[in-house]
Amino acid sequence: MRPFRLPDAHLPSIADGWTCRACSAPWPCPTAADYLTQNQCHCGAPSYWEKNGPRNWHVGPSCYTAADVVRQQAADLRTYRDAYPRYPPSHYYPKKPRRPKWPQPAYQHTPAGPGDIQPGTWTWVEPGGLYPGWGDIHHLAMVTRPGLPKSEVWLILDGTVHDVRADHLILSGQPRKAPADWWQWTAAQHLEQQPQPDRQTEDRTAEQLDLFPGLQPV
Ligand SMILES: [Zn+2]
Ligand SMILES: [Zn+2]
């Protein structure tokens, strides 16, 4: 019966110049070749991969050193870290700058369709949307002034008000049963759906005063 894996007797003897241990023919001998897939290394040397196992052979002098391997691993790791940046643990965060705290706005709004973002919509601010002092977690916030590219939100955590890029805001409070796909959109995607009146040219100060009528920072 034909063995499942390459028989050890037909492994190469490298000291004898890559000859078969059993046949003394140049390796791979016909018996060994049955079990191997041939490839070519980037250095031009042939390489052989076992069909039914993990072993592989690089015929010819080694084309890289241990230092090359370490360098390549470091480069791979750097690529990965750049693609998936991690934030340091929270005690490394800078201090929060002083900001006035505001009471919770009185209005409430639940989106009823795509593009329906009004003041009072509850959202989550994704990590990276706020100054690093507020950490790298999602923060529950209420939109107080929808806008592009930045919307103004009120944080439930400490009552501070922030200008956040709308693509860092995702809707909160989606229905458990059969939510529409627009619940997954960012606020920026919603706002782009809205007709474009003079949204960007509005006088910001006036609107902000209007949102907190008769209220002062506490
Ligand atoms: Zn052989
Ligand atoms: Zn090579």
Q: What is the mean pLDDT of residues 135-164?
A: 91
Q: Looking at per-residue confidence, does 88 or 27 come out higher?
A: 27
Going from the Cα of 21 to the center of ligand 2, the distance in angstroms, rounded, reads 23
* Whether residues 139 and 79 fall in one domain: no
Q: What is the mean pLDDT of residues 107-126?
A: 88
Is residue 178 predicted with pLDDT exceeding 80?
yes
Q: Would you say how long the chain is, in residues?
A: 218
181: in domain: yes
Going from the Cα of 63 to the center of ligand 1, the distance in angstroms, rounded, reads 26
* Whether residues 100 and 193 fall in one domain: yes
| Structure confidence at residue 168 (pLDDT) | 92
| Structure confidence at residue 206 (pLDDT) | 46
Best CA proximity match to 10, nearest among 38, 29, 34: 29
Do 108 and 154 meet the contact criterion of CB atoms below 8 Å apart?
no
Q: How far is CA 109 from CA 68, 79, 115, 182, in A?
A: 58, 42, 13, 16
**Contacting residues for 30 by C-beta, under 8 A, at least 6 apart:** none
Residue that terminates a domain, selected from 86, 113, 138: 86
* Whether residues 119 and 73 fall in one domain: no
| Structure confidence at residue 92 (pLDDT) | 77
Q: What is the mean pLDDT of residues 120-124?
A: 93
Q: What is the mean pLDDT of residues 47-62?
A: 90
How far apart (Å, rounded) are the C-alpha atoms in residues 98 and 162? 12
Is residue 213 predicted with pLDDT exceeding 60?
no
Do 164 and 128 meet the contact criterion of CB atoms below 8 Å apart?
no
50: in domain: yes
Going from the Cα of 39 to the center of ligand 2, the distance in angstroms, rounded, reads 10
| Structure confidence at residue 175 (pLDDT) | 83
* Whether residues 22 and 47 fall in one domain: yes
Total domains present in the chain: 2
Residue that is written with structure tokens 């949102």 in the block: 211
136: in domain: yes
| Structure confidence at residue 127 (pLDDT) | 86
* Whether residues 30 and 105 fall in one domain: no
Is residue 188 predicted with pLDDT exceeding 60?
yes
Q: What is the mean pLDDT of residues 49-56?
A: 92
* Whether residues 121 and 159 fall in one domain: yes
2: in domain: yes
pTM exceeding 0.75:
no
Going from the Cα of 53 to the center of ligand 1, the distance in angstroms, rounded, reads 18
* Whether residues 102 and 191 fall in one domain: yes
How far apart (Å, rounded) are the C-alpha atoms in residues 30 and 36? 10
How far apart (Å, rounded) are the C-alpha atoms in residues 72 and 147? 45
* Whether residues 53 and 102 fall in one domain: no
The residue segments making up the domain with residue 179 are 95-197
29: in domain: yes
Among the bound ligands, the one closest to the CA of 13: 1
Going from the Cα of 7 to the center of ligand 2, the distance in angstroms, rounded, reads 25
- What is residue 138's DSSP assignment? -
Please give the mean pLDDT across all residues of the chain. Answer: 85
Among the bound ligands, the one closest to the CA of 68: 2
* Whether residues 111 and 61 fall in one domain: no
Ion ligand 1 neighbours, Cβ < 5 Å = 10, 20, 22-23, 29, 31
Q: Report pLDDT digits (tens) over 26-52.
A: 989 999 999 999 999 988 899 999 999
Going from the Cα of 61 to the center of ligand 1, the distance in angstroms, rounded, reads 22
Q: Provide the residue type at 113 as one letter.
A: G
* Whether residues 4 and 80 fall in one domain: yes
205: in domain: no
* Whether residues 76 and 113 fall in one domain: no
